[in-house]
Amino acid sequence: RYICFLGGIIALFDQITLSNGLRVIGERLDHVRSVSVGLWLGAGSQYEIPPEAGVSHFLEHMAFKGTQKRTARQIAEEMDAVGGQLNAFTSKECTCFYAKVVDEHLPLAMDVLADLVTAPTFDSAEMEKEKGVVLEEISMSMDEPEDLVHELLMLANYGDQPVARPILGNSERVSSYAREDLVSYWSRMYRPQNAVLALAGNYDWDRVLSMAEELLGGWEADGFSKRGCVTHAVAPTVLTREKDIEQIHICMGFPGLKIGNDRSYELSLFNSVFGGAMSSRLFQKIREERGAAYTVYSYPNAYTDAGMLSVYAATNPDAAVEVSGLLLEEARKLADEGMTQDEFTMAREQLKASYILGLESTSARMQSNGRRLLLLNSTRTETEVIDRVNAIGFDETNALMREILTAPHSMALVGKGVERVAKEIEN
């Protein structure tokens, strides 16, 4: 058991590293009857080279198509039989296979997750069928302008660097994958020292350790090889994509903070004031006062070696230049004048409440602990986070806001006649 001393309060995590390098972390919640468990891999699109575009995501799909012990149907039926939830996702920097079950069914959930990660068969016939599914997913993302403009913003802000490449990859590469491509990537990246097993909910730690040793203790550590990834600053630019749709979708990207940066608390608070809540400057000015857009918001995204504050709005072509101007006007006004004390106090309470409400979900706790241990090799307790939120300073937040909003920004536009709109905005 890992003990963390915080201002005289003892917060407990169950934590251990197995002999093969697999890190295991648990947060026990005796008042619930469920448990969420996830197997996290440090494998994502940021660690792919161009010939491997989309392989992390495709591999995640293929793990569910059969293992050495189970067919795809058996995987689904075994979890459905106990009312469990089973899923996975791939991001820029990690892949997570996760389940949520009634506590008595934790052994089954851990068995299935271990099976998916350590013993996929990558059947060639199933691969050809699943290619069609992933190709449809790629097409769907291209048809969704809100998704498309965010992908375009990444490229505008980071250029041709790994962090900017789509998680789904591209149709050409996905169509060309052979079984040996997946086996090679899996053999290199799906290794215990590149993984974390995370749990949150009602469990017996001794039993968890016994199951982890039985199911994952023999997971081979040999062959692990992970490319380093450093994102360099590039000159922000403007990119457009012509699309015959009714609205123009606008995205702006300002510099952000890397994951784990202590000032991320100030950034989250500032984002709430800027565009992260219904009471925010952007929502109130652009939607409520002007009625110029139905959707408008901002959000920070952070990676281990880069960060960006994104601003998004969708509006009709005739209002696109006006809305873009309003986005920048509110940014400049905040940078010049700062937020008010009332805005600061409200946003800090919003931030605290959002965190506390999220703690009521075992899935949210598992994901927070698993991702942080995987990417930063550290943990943080509930008390630690709340104390840090309470310590956010008014002047420090305004200083960070000024630093970010006065920096050069990138921009992406998707819609009809966007090149003309981009030129008008630049002028």
Phi, psi at 21, each rounded to 5°: 100, -5
CA distance 406 to 150: 21
SS3 category, 85: strand
CA distance 333 to 326: 10
CA distance 51 to 173: 7
CA distance 133 to 147: 18
| Cβ atoms within 10 Å, residue 242 | 12
The vertex-152 CA angle with 305 and 52, nearest 5°, equals: 65
What six digits make up the tokens of 174?
């996905």
Amino acid 196 reads V
3-state percent breakdown (helix, strand, coil) of the chain, nearest 5: 50, 20, 30
What six digits make up the tokens of 22?
């697999």
Amino acid 322 reads E
Catalytic residue among 60, 126, 130, 266: 60
Listed in order, strand segments (DSSP E) in 155-220 are: 195-201
What six digits make up the tokens of 3?
């003990």
CA distance 57 to 89: 8
62-95: b (≥16 Cβ within 10 Å) or e:
bbbbbbeebebeebeebbeeeebebebebbbbbb
Q: Is 60 a catalytic residue?
A: yes
CA distance 162 to 49: 8
Active site (catalytic) residues: 60
